[in-house]
Amino acid sequence: MSFATLKRNSTNSFDKLNQEIEKMSSTEGGADERFWKPEMDKSGNGYAVIRFLPAPDGEDVPWAKVWSHAFQGPGGWYIENSLTTLNKKDPVGDLNRQLWNSGSEKDKEIARKQKRKLTYYTNIYVIKDPAHPENEGKVFLYKFGKKIFDKITEAMQPAFADEKPINPFDFWTGADFKLKLRKVDGYWNYDKSEFSNPGTLGDFDDDKLEKIYSKAHSLAQFSADDNFKTYEELAKRLNDVLNSKPAVRIDRETYEDEESVVENVATFAATSTPSFSSRSTSTEDEDDTLSYFARLAEED
């Protein structure tokens, strides 16, 4: 949409975003200069002030979400985007469902280590970045996880009657986000982060805001088909990582002997003692384990 339309539809777009939140309730980013990330100081704290930007021109939602897997097996690391992002079947999801439904606690533990992770991407305007002042006044892509998105959701859909909902992605009625980062039990923690009072970004006039808007990056790239491998390619990689043979599809439609897959994975877990550690170093972007595996158990 044009900048003029963006301003005219400011209120209506908030309703659309809430609808997207409701639907969600029921790719790894490249290490390039487009991306911004917070940084801790020597005391183990980090602070920055950013503003979430509206959906880029031609796109409807101001964030992109990507499911992925990152775990280690005897054959190395499996670090891949999940086809469930595109509402398609994924080999790790198929295997995890089999493991979870096997009735074995050992199989369930393997499935937990292989569960998917949800990552979000959005455009931000950096207002204050003490660690890197040169970033201030610039537009970047920002990759974040569930904890930050929960803060956004809480701002849009507050739990208490005395709290007024805001659209954090709106230039005029949105709010700056004070990102406060600590290390708690060895993990990055964003619990103290909060939104400021609503108001126009930087008190800028529309000409300045339009220039900022023109620098936003497309988010559609993160859910584009070419950002994902095929089921067959992922299944081959999964088999290589798990040292599972033969390298075949492991979904119900094509793998007749499901229990042999469960037994094979359980066997190497018991005998090889692989390190099924997560690649992530932060609980900030953990998926909801209980709800995820509840869905696995329901699928047939």
At 18 the pLDDT is 66
Q: Are residues 173 and 55 located together in one domain of the fold?
A: yes
* Domain termination site, one of 204, 223, 242: 223
User: CATH number of the domain that 22 lies in?
Assistant: 3.90.198.10
Q: Is residue 245 part of a domain?
A: yes
Q: Is the pLDDT of residue 268 over 80?
A: no
Q: Kindly state whether residues 37 and 138 are assigned to the same domain.
A: yes
In one-letter notation, the amino acid at residue 269 is: A
Based on the domain organization, do 171 and 278 belong to the same domain?
no
- DSSP letters spanning 216-257: PPPSGGGGSGGGS--HHHHHHHHHHHHT-SS----STTT-S-
Copy the structure tokens of residue 68: 């992925």
Whether residue 130 is contained in a domain is answered as yes
Question: Are residues 98 and 165 both part of a single domain?
Answer: no
pLDDT tens per residue, range 154-176: 999 999 999 999 999 999 999 99
- pLDDT tens across 200-249, in order? 999 999 999 999 999 999 999 999 999 999 999 999 999 999 985 544 34
Last-in-domain residue among 223, 252, 269: 223
For residue 239, what are the domain limits? 86-115+226-298
Count of domains observed in the chain:
2
154 and 279 together in one domain:
no
d(CA 144, CA 1): 25
Q: Is residue 153, in this structure, part of any structural domain at all?
A: yes
Q: Is the pLDDT of residue 269 over 70?
A: no
Choose one of 223, 249, 277: the last residue of a domain.
Answer: 223
